[in-house]
Amino acid sequence: MIGVIGGSGLYEIVGTTRNREGVVVREERKISTPYGEPSGLYRICEIAGREVAFLPRHGSPHHIAPHKVNYRANIRGFKELGVERIITVNAVGGINPEMVPGRIAVLDQIIDMTEGRERTFYDKEEIVHVDFTEPYCSELRSAIISAGEKAGVELKQKAAYICTNGPRLETAAEIKAFSLLGADVVGMTGMPEASLARELGICLAGIAVITNYAAGISGKKLTTTEVVEKMAESTERIKVLLTKVFSIIPDQRNCGCRDALKDARM
């Protein structure tokens, strides 16, 4: 099964496309985990002949702030469903001038600036340090890039994501500093989602929708309205892209993600 974590917009669209566009909603699963409750029900669908489980990161309707999301429960819930690959959809602000609002980028690196979030499954007896040199699954990234080409959805093939804690937006000086650090886009939800998946040997790739210029880039005040509007505008393209991705992901995994725990234990 393939997992998708997205904003509530995407989740609702899956629900309302019942019997249309080849999407069949099979069931909604409530899963409890040793880490607490996931953000919502896992909506299990069949798309392009694949079983896909959708989870709305912020709940449905949207009510969980980025710093309050139970990332461990969300990822552990996917594991319980037998999910081996997760694609995340994240709203981001564009830092690099090429990251223009409305564009979609396939993430390739992460800088983590979050604090106070539960960020590991290994905080008891077991000491584990997973390799995170390449934070996103290379096979899944390639599948998304090739799906974009096949489905005619234009993609930026690389973007380094800096994850802030929020919920406030950034200052102009922070964004200038993040740019010097090498960040292309900024968001609040990419971590620890990605490293938790790695800790469970699950592949994960991130699709970023640039919803606004980051603070200080355009000189205009940032609003959640523009974020929501740009996200809504992109939903159709994301759906087309994901449907293509599902049809081309190889049945068996050929990447190293499943071996994340090999040589990672002390």
Residue ranges binding ligand HPA (CB under 6 A): 91-93, 164, 169-170, 186-188, 211-212, 214, 222, 227
Q: Do 206 and 184 form a contact (C-beta atoms < 8 A)?
A: no
* Smallest separation (angstroms) from ligand HPA to the CB of 99: 10
* Smallest separation (angstroms) from ligand HPA to the CB of 174: 10
Angstrom distance (rounded) from CA 29 to CA 228? 27
CB nearer to ligand HPA: pick between 23 and 238? 238
If one counts every other C-beta atom within 10 angstroms of the C-beta of residue 127, the result is 10
Task: Give the distance, in angstroms, between the CA of residue 170 and the centroid of all CA atoms in the same chain.
Answer: 20
* Smallest separation (angstroms) from ligand HPA to the CB of 188: 5
Q: Which two tokens stand for residue 194?
A: 């990605």
* Smallest separation (angstroms) from ligand HPA to the CB of 265: 34
Q: Which residue is nearest to ligand HPA (CB)?
A: 93
CB nearer to ligand HPA: pick between 8 and 212? 212
CB nearer to ligand HPA: pick between 105 and 147? 105
* Smallest separation (angstroms) from ligand HPA to the CB of 173: 14
Terminal Cα distance for the chain, rounded: 31
Altogether, the residues listed in the chain come to a count of 266
Task: Give the distance, in angstroms, between the CA of residue 96 and the centroid of all CA atoms in the same chain.
Answer: 20
CB nearer to ligand HPA: pick between 82 and 167? 167
CB nearer to ligand HPA: pick between 164 and 179? 164
Q: Which two tokens stand for residue 51?
A: 């079983």
* Smallest separation (angstroms) from ligand HPA to the CB of 141: 21
CB nearer to ligand HPA: pick between 8 and 164? 164
